[in-house]
Amino acid sequence: MAMPDRLSRRELLAASLALPAAGHSSSWNTPVPLGKTGLKVTRLAFGCEEVRDPKLIRRAADLGIAYLNCLPPRRENEYSAAPVVREALKPIRGRVVLSSGTSRRSRGEISADLDRHLRAFGTDYLDVFYLIAASKAEHLSDDVLEGLRAARQSGKIRACGVTTHRLDSVLPPLLDSRAIDAVMLTFNFSLADARPTLFQEVIGGGGRLEAIARLRKAGVGIVAMKPLMAGLSKDIVPPERRAWYESLDSVAKRRAALSAALKWAVRSEHVDTAPVLMSSVEQLEANVRTAAEPFTEADLQALAPL
């Protein structure tokens, strides 16, 4: 396939907004497979870290959200909102996919931490249990992987996952282990133009999207981390996007960018689901409305780099 000599920035962004691949629905609340886990998730998922009212989680389930992401803070291995989630789950447990995780690094510690999570959430099993912040190949040691396999075989978890900011470092063991069913990784619209050669890499076989494609081919589910750049946090915005970030100099522009980023995330063919932190009914319902709206030319312009 001949490569264009040069792509405009708008063409580069548009290239990443292809229609969903086979098996993916553009509707945010149509259940889709999480890889080959046997679990079904919705494209828009609920990040529970900031929830203080169980009614909010139940409302999310009533609106159709089927995946609750409840990861504890990396350094604490304890989830402070677990009592809220526990109360919320009582009438909806069978309707949602529930995930949590651990940053422990040995089989014994992982097993003990998993039992603590089960007690905290008041459930017999977790649908996905993540090894949090796996950034080195040694984090996926035989001991750790065997611990995850044992937990899955016991029925305490249905799928084993990994969260990572360093996909390049852990890709080989992820592909070789056959123990990992899902990967949560940083993924948002900025990857569409973060490097000048990204479009060529996608076509030619290099870069993060190619790595994601390899994981998907192996049946690994893909979950987006920070799909909205943590609410357009300056610390999350990549250097290549700083000029664009500085141009969001009004509340209206930031809202437009966040809305467009959400629409982009729930339509990306590269991920199965995109958890978004929500802390109020108003925020939840606004996100649901936004996810249901079409991605327009105005959205494209709101995300286009300067």
Q: What is the structure's pLDDT at 189?
A: 86
Q: How confident is the model at residue 79, as a pLDDT?
A: 62
Q: Using alpha carbons, list the distances in angstroms from residue 172 to 140, 166, 169.
A: 10, 12, 8
Mean pLDDT score, 251-277: 94
* 175-221 pLDDT tens trace: 988 899 999 999 988 875 434 333 333 333 347 788 999 999 999 99
User: Please, are residues 286 and 253 in contact by the beta-carbon 8 Å criterion?
Assistant: no
Residues 6+ apart with CB under 8 A from 206: none
> Among 165, 195, 197, 154, which residue's Cα sits nearest to residue 305?
195
pTM for the whole thing? Answer: 0.87
9: nearest Cα among 296, 240, 208: 240
At 9 the pLDDT is: 45
Residues of the chain above pLDDT 90, percent: 67
pLDDT for 202: 35
pLDDT recorded at residue 263: 94
Mean pLDDT, to the nearest integer, of 100-129? 94
- Residue 209's pLDDT is what? 81
Over range 148-173, report the average pLDDT: 94
- Sign of the Cα pseudo-torsion (137, 162, 167, 36, in order): positive
Q: What's the pLDDT score for residue 240? A: 80
Kindly give, in sequence order, each residue whose CB lies less than 8 Å from that of residue 146, ignoring residues fewer than 6 positions away: 107, 179
